[in-house]
Chains A and B, each alone.
Chain A
Amino acid sequence: MPNENLIEIRGLNSLYQDRQVLFDINFSIPRHRVTVIMGVSGSGKTTIFRHLIGLKKTGPKEITIDGEDLGAFSEARLMQYRRRIGVLFQSGALFNSMSLAENIAIPLRAHTRLADETIRIMTVMKLNLVGLADFSDYMPSQISGGMKKRAGLARALIMDPEILFVDEPSSGLDPITAAGLDRLIVELRETLGMSAVVVTHELESAFKIADLMVVMDEGRIMAVGSPGEIRNSADGRVRQFLNREADTCKVGLESYYRRLFEGK
C-alpha cells in the first residue's frame, strides 16, 4: 500500500545567490489532497514551489517523492517525474505565437504519437473543462488574463497528471473567475483523486480549497494544519496574516539611527 504522503520535505534550505530564502522547511504533502502553501509576498512559498517542480536544485534527501530523493534524480528521471505532474504558472506561460489549441496540444505532440484528430478532440475536451471551448483558435494576445490562466490550466491537465502544481491561481482574477478556478481544483481532487499543491496569498481561496495548509513567513514555516487548525491558531504572526493586519515598524529606534548614519 502506498505511503499516505506523496511528498516529504525535510530540512529544506534554499539560497538565491548569497541570500538564504528558506530555512529548515519540514512538512509532508498528502496524496489525493489539496495542499495550500500560503504566506505574504517574499515569504518563500514560490521558492518551495520551484523546488517541488524541479526548477531549482535540491540538496540530498531534502525532498522525497514517493520515497525517491528529488535531489538525486538524473536528467532522465526528472523528465519522467515531470510527465507525472502538471504545472500552472502565475501568468499562464502560454506561447504567444500559438493559438490556445496549439498551446494545449504541446505536451501531447511532444510525448505521444496520437493522430491529429485525437489530439484535437482531447484539446477541445480540456478547453471545455475550463470553459474555453469557443476560444480554441484565439491567440493568447486576444484573450484576458483570467482566460490565459484557465488555458494554462487546461494545458497543465492535458496529460492527466497525478499531481497538479498551481502558482497563485486567483491573483489578478475577478472573484467569479477565481471562484471558478477554485471549484475546478476541488472537483479534480474529488472526481479524479488528483493531488494538488497550490501556492497562494489569497485567504478566501486558500480556505475554500485546502485540505492541508502551510503558512510561511520570511522563509520559515509558521504553521501547518487543516484549515480549521490554522483558523484557530493562537500564533500572533498567523493571526496577523489571517486578520490582514499591516506590519508595525519592527526596527528599533536605535538600530534605525545606526543604519541611517553609519550605513549599517
Chain B
Amino acid sequence: MDAYARGDIAAFQVLYDRWHDRLFGYLARTFDPATAEELFQTLWMRIHGARSGYDRERAVAPWLFAIAANLRREEWRRRGRRPEESRADVVPTGSTGSAEDAALSVERDRAVRNALAALPEAQREVIELHRFEHLSFPEIAEAFGEGVEAVKSRAFRGYKALRLMLTEMKP
C-alpha cells in the first residue's frame, strides 16, 4: 500500500488483485449488480484519490473497508432508504451442486439477506464485516473509528437477533 501511495504500478496491481473481489462482494451483498458495479468504480477512484493520506501504521483492510462502508452509507442516504430486501438474486460463483442445491442456496441467501436488512444499521455493518469479510473486532473498530468493546457489543446484539429471526424464518 505504501508503494502504491508513492505511485508504484506493480504495487497497485498486487493490492487490486487481492482486494477487488472482496470489495465488490461487500457492495454486491447489499445492492443490485448494476449499482454494485457503479459503486465499485466509485470506490476504487476514492481509494486511489485517498492513497496519499494512507497511514502506513494502519492495516490495509480496515482502511479499505472504512472507505467502502462510507460509500455504502452515502448511497443509502442518497436513495433515502434501507438496503434492498428483495433484489435480484445473484448466483454464487463456483457453485457445482445440483439444481435443488442451488435453489436451496438461493433461498438461504435470500433469508439471510432479509434478516440482515431487518437489523439496525449499526449492527448489520459490524456483522457483515465480521462474518463475511472476516475482519477481526479490532479491525472493525479501527474502520469505524470506535472502541473494540462497542463493536463487540453491537455484534453480540446483532448475532442474537439474527438467530431469532433466522429460526423464525425456517419452514
Tell me, yes or no, whether A binds B: no
Query: Which residues of chain A have a CB within 8 Å of any CB of chain B?
Result: none
Query: Which residues of chain B have a CB within 8 Å of any CB of chain A?
Result: none
